[in-house]
Amino acid sequence: MQDRPTAPELLDAMAADLYSEVREWVPRERRFRVLVLANLCAVIARELRAGEEPSRQDLELFTALSGSPADDAREAAATLAAAIRRGELDERLPEAIGRLREHVARKLEVARPGYAVSAGDG
Partner 1 sequence: MGSIVTPPAEDALCAGVRELIAEGTGSDPGALRLSTIPGGASRETFLAESDRGRWVLRRDPVGAQDSFAPLETEFRVVQTAAAAGVPVARGLAFEPARGRLESAGFVMDHVEGTSVAPRVLRREELESARSALPAQLGEALARIHSIDARAIDGVATSGGDPALAACGLWEATIDEIGEPLPAVEVGLRWLRLNPRPPPPRECLVHGDFRLGNLIVDESGLAAVIDWELCHSGDPAEDIGWVCVRSWRFGNDDLPVAGVGALDELLAAYEAAGGEPPSMERIRWWEAMGNVKWAVICARQAHDHLTGSRPSAELASLGRRISEPEWDLLELLPAASCASRPGAPGSEQGRRA
Q: Interface with partner 1 by CB under 8 A: which residues?
A: 29, 33, 36-37, 39-40, 43, 62, 74, 77-78, 80-81, 84-85, 87, 89-90, 93, 96-97, 100-101, 103-105, 107-108, 110-112, 115-116, 118-122
Between CA 117 and CA 122 the distance in angstroms is: 11
The SS3 call for residue 57 is: helix
CA distances from 49 to 28, 74, 117 (A): 33, 20, 22
Q: Do residues 84 and 93 make contact, with C-beta atoms less than 8 angstroms apart?
A: no
16 versus 100: smaller Cβ distance to partner 1: 100
CB of 83 to partner 1, least distance (A): 9
**Minimum distance from CB of 80 to partner 1 (Å)?**
5
Please state the closest distance from residue 104 (CB atom) to partner 1, in A.
5
What is residue 45's three-state secondary structure? helix
